[in-house]
Every structure is written in structure tokens, then in C-alpha cells.
Amino acid sequence: MTTPRSDASPESPGPSARTILRLVGGGVAVLLLVLFVVQNDARVRLQFLAWDTTTRLAWALLLAAALGFLIGLVAPRLWRLLRGRRDRERA
């Protein structure tokens, strides 16, 4: 005797714990960013080489952090590339 097979599809399990954690983390990050911008709304004057402008402190700090992040990503890779080239020339 065989058991009847159900053709009903299993219920979808819903979002995974990882997805929920990412959404909550992203929401917290956005909330912190909004609070940061609101609390640092003083106008500051920025001077860099020939560039002179006035902007809000929060945007200046966020720009500096983003540039630092990008330099932190690019500099080690560039360093490895140049070091590898130098090592190959010596060999």
C-alpha cells in the first residue's frame, strides 16, 4: 500500500535570520546617520589647496570618512602591486 503524495507546495520559510539582521542593522545605521547629520549642522569653512567652500560639519566629516575609507581600500592594493613589480625586476 502506498501513501498518497501531497502536491501542495511547502510553505515558504519567510526571511532568514541573516536577512532580518541585515535589515535591522541597516535601519540602525540609517538612524545613526540621521542623528549625526542633525546634531552636526553647524556651518564650517573648508579650505583645501585652491578650493574654498562653506558646508555643514556633518557633510564635511562624512566626506572625510568616505575618502579615508577609499584610500584604505586602494593604498594596500597599490602597495602590493608596486612591491610585486619591484620584486620581479630584482629577480
Overall average pLDDT of the 13-26 stretch: 87
Q: Which residue has the cell 519567510?
A: 14
The answer on pLDDT for 6 being more than 70 is no
> What are the pLDDT digits (tens) for 42-78?
999 989 898 899 998 888 888 888 898 899 999 988 8
The pTM of this model reads 0.53
Q: How far apart are CA 91 and CA 83, in angstroms?
A: 12
Q: How far apart are CA 21 and CA 63, in angstroms?
A: 27
Average pLDDT of the chain is: 83
* Nearest alpha-carbon partner for 56 in 40, 39, 68, 34: 40
The reported pLDDT for the residue numbered 4 is 58
Q: Which residue has the cell 541597516?
A: 26
